[in-house]
Amino acid sequence: MQSAVSRTLDWIETHVVRASLAKAMLLVIGCTLVAIQAMAISQDLIVSKAAIRDAASKRADAALNMLESVHTQAMTNRKMIADGDSAIATLNGTMDQFSGESKDVKLWVVMGDKIVAFQKKQHAGELETARDAVDAATLSSGEPQSVLNGETLRLTRPIKLGQGSARMKSCAGCHEGLMGINSGEVMGAYSAEVNLAPEQAVWASQARSETARSVFFTLVTIGILFLMLRIVAFRPLANLTAATQKLADEQLDAEVDYSDRPDEIGKIARALDSFRLKLIEKRSISAENNYNAYLAQHDGLTGLPNRLQFNARLDDAILAAQGSNRRVAGVIIDIDRFKYINDRHGHEAGDAVLRATASNILHTIREGEFIARMGGDEFGAWKIFANDQELEEFLDRIETALAASVTIHAVTLKPIASIGVSIWPDHTRRREQLINNADLAMYRAKADIRNKRFMFDVDMDENARRRSELVEDLAVARRYGQLSVQYQRQNNAESGEVTGYEALCRWTHPKHGAISPCEFIPLAEESGLICDIGEWVLREACATGARQSAPIIMAVNVSAIQIGDVEFPRLVHQILIDTGLAPSRLEIELTETALVQNRDRALHVLRQIKALGVQVAIDDFGVGYSSLETISLFPVDKIKIDRSFIQDIESHAKAQSLIRAILLMGDSLGIPVLAEGVETQSQLDFVRAAGCSQVQGYLFGLPCNEEDMRAYFAQVDAKRGSVAAVPRRVRRKAA
Ligand code: C2E
Ligand code: CA
Ligand code: CA
């Protein structure tokens, strides 16, 4: 970029040099103009000087003519009046008069040595008076010669003796000198002298003012030209240079005008502007790159570092702790029931919870500690610490930050988070393992209602290993006939009569033996195997139900994943057709959690299932999140009170109140209530007294296979048969 700038600067510099050249040329042009003006003026002056001289010589010539005629007249007069002096006097007078009128022309006549009779008359110039003269006719004048001497122009015309030849005059003495004069011989001269001083003075002042004027006009011309050049070229160039300098200093707000000019300046401006745009583009690209780099390392929602950066910085932290007595704690934090927050209050609320959680933790972070969003509702943190106390203090701080409530749209949420911790190098020396361990500890905390912070221990790792082993085995369990279905009775609370059976899946593991559905069903849900297993159980249960002569209800547990599948109603329909079970004899059991997890979808699917004529029961009622809402929203045919309430009947008054409340609610909504897990007579007595219409539990029977079910029915039928043979009165007595 720098080289491009310097190139542009060079370019501009070239143009600045050109501008300087233009300035110099302007100066030269000015000087030339002045010189031309001066030459023109001097030419004018020469011409006008010649004109002055010409006019002066004409004046002198006219004066000479006059002098000549006056002289000739004087000569003639002299001859006629025979008085030379008076003729001379006339000449003198005339010359006096002339000189009086024309001050600047002086006239005189000079006769040669041979005419000595002429006298000088001082007052009429240097006039020599002819005492005697030749005939006027004998005098002739030649071409005048002019001589400029300083400020005076003298015109001298020679006087020659005419053809008539000189004649002797009366005064022999006077004529002595004329003797020997030949015709055509120069014998004197008329002279006229003109004083050119005034003309020359006028001429000089004229020359001065002319020169001044021309200099003035030249300067004005140069000034105007310079001003024009300044406006047209110098100032734009200076502005462009300043703009380029600004660009070189990376000030991209540099304004580049003149782009629409068609000349060189326009070219520079356009080049500079495109250069500026490129710089802006480059800068925005680099800003974008920086932003992309930032995005690659940060989470968009919370602004926290992401998993990528977390891992890199954790590697650094482990490196920094190596060789010292310090350790590194890897922490995984997960918000409990986050999905519920999203489903119940909307994604906006979910986002707000994540942002608030992030910001709360971030504010507690100190030197040597790190927090990141790992994805979803999971956060990661680490700390380099020297003793357990430091770590405890750090974890307390995080827990306090997590305990803060979040208010969104007037709803205050108090999210609970589970924290798992693992220590380097105590638990592992590998970063990946450290995070896995913390994750396992976090899951342990999630499963616990009271303790929300767990330190990793080796058992957890064992557990995890067992879980992944079980998932692998579960995938092939059905193929190897390890799965089976057992059925547990549901009885009428009053009569004890069997109203239906609940199908419960069983897995007999070749190595571990019977594995509880409480363990393998969640694994099946996590791994997605539940769809396959669930379909199989449903088919088995329906087939079993259809095979029974008694019109019992067949209850089948359906998981959240199954109810979230829009194809599920079609599958149920198909199974009912295939097995021949009447839809009214099938009851699907769903937990509240399964329903609220994907409320809209569940509602949609459930309505379709209901439309088939299938019954719907809410399982584990009371331990869910929003029992009232579930009941009011979903089309429910039966409520199954969770067995934990029944187990607590004897010891907890609260459990009794809750059971009564549920029964009251069921009664008011017209929904029958079944009590699960009834093991003792007193429990039965209580629920029966409270108004429970159905019961299920070990008191009535353990889950059994189909054969046991049949045997039971056969037994009941047999009993009925024998009872039917006994008269009614006896039966009442026996009861
Ligand atoms: P659940 O649906 O609440 O099923 C009732 C559970 O309570 C059964 O445990 C049953 O054996 C047990 N039970 C019945 N009476 C008593 C009693 O008086 N006292 C006690 N302590 N327990 C009693 P099980 O068979 O171990 O099933 C556990 C859970 O596994 C079930 O709870 C159900 O949520 C799930 N499950 C079982 N089979 C399936 C299945 O095919 N599909 C799905 N999705 N879940 C299943
Ligand atoms: Ca159930
Ligand atoms: Ca249950």
Q: Which of 41-45, 167-171, 453-457, 610-614 has the lowest mean pLDDT?
A: 167-171
State phi, psi for 666 to the nearest 5 degrees.
Answer: -60, -40
User: Which one of 23-27, 72-76, 429-433 scores highest in mean pLDDT?
Assistant: 429-433
Q: What is the pLDDT of residues 650-670, one digit of tens each?
A: 888 888 999 999 999 999 999
At 343 the pLDDT is 79
SS3 of 440, please?
helix
**494 CB neighbour count, 10 Å cutoff:** 11
**Ligand 2: distance of its center to the CA of 674 in Å?**
11
Ligand 1: which of 505, 518, 531, 557 to mutate, judged by most atoms within 8 Å of the beta carbon? 557
CA-based R_g, the chain, Å: 68
**Ligand 3: distance of its center to the CA of 413 in Å?**
28
Nearest to 130 by CA among 69, 79, 194: 79
At 131 the pLDDT is 41
Q: Which of 90-94, 274-278, 347-351, 370-374 has the lowest mean pLDDT?
A: 90-94
With DSSP H G I counted as helix, E B as strand and the rest as coil, what are the percentages for the chain, rounded to 5?
A: 55, 20, 25
- Residue 368: pLDDT over 70: yes
Taking residues 337-365, what's their average pLDDT? 89
Residue that wins the pLDDT comparison between 473 and 113: 473
**Residue 528 Rama label (left phi>0; alpha psi -120 to 50; beta):** left
At 424 the pLDDT is 96
What atom in ligand 1 is closest to the CA of residue 537? 41
How far is it, in rounded angstroms, from Cα 379 to Cα 370?
11
First to last CA, the chain: 104
Ligand 1 site residues, Cβ closer than 6 angstroms:
488, 504-505, 516-518, 521, 534, 537, 557, 559, 589, 619-620, 643, 676-679, 697-698, 703
Q: What is the pLDDT of residues 607-633, one digit of tens each?
A: 999 999 999 999 999 887 666 778 888
The residue nearest atom 45 of ligand 1, judged by CA position, is: 557
**Ligand 3: distance of its center to the CA of 519 in Å?**
15
- Token pair of 384, please? 């380099």
At 724 the pLDDT is 58
Q: Which of 109-118, 119-128, 393-402, 431-440 has the lowest mean pLDDT?
A: 119-128
Residue type, position 37, single letter:
Q
- Residue 7: pLDDT over 70: no
At 734 the pLDDT is 40
Residue that wins the pLDDT comparison between 124 and 512: 512
The answer to whether residues 129 and 138 touch, using CB atoms and an 8 Å cutoff, is no
Average pLDDT for the chain: 84
pLDDT band at 376 (very low <50, low <70, confident <90, very high): very high
What is the DSSP secondary structure assignment for residue 325, as one 8-state letter? S
Task: Check the CA dihedral 15-20-22-25 and report its sign.
Answer: negative
Ligand 1: which of 502, 504, 649, 687 to mutate, judged by most atoms within 8 Å of the beta carbon? 504
**Ligand 2: distance of its center to the CA of 619 in Å?**
5
- Residue 163: pLDDT over 80: no
The residue nearest atom 2 of ligand 1, judged by CA position, is: 557
Residue carrying structure tokens 């003149």: 258
State phi, psi for 617 to the nearest 5 degrees.
Answer: -120, 140
**Ligand 3: distance of its center to the CA of 620 in Å?**
4
pLDDT band at 125 (very low <50, low <70, confident <90, very high): very low
Q: What is the pLDDT of residues 590-603, one digit of tens each?
A: 998 888 877 888 99
Nearest to 615 by CA among 673, 553, 676: 553
Residue that wins the pLDDT comparison between 102 and 52: 52
Q: What is the pLDDT of residues 194-225, one digit of tens each?
A: 888 887 888 888 878 887 887 788 788 888 88
How far is it, in rounded angstroms, from Cα 344 to Cα 446?
20
**Ligand 3: distance of its center to the CA of 486 in Å?**
15
At 302 the pLDDT is 94
pLDDT band at 6 (very low <50, low <70, confident <90, very high): low
Q: Which of 229-233, 385-389, 530-534, 563-567 has the lowest mean pLDDT?
A: 229-233
At 729 the pLDDT is 45
Residue that wins the pLDDT comparison between 148 and 81: 148
At 598 the pLDDT is 78
The residue nearest atom 7 of ligand 1, judged by CA position, is: 677
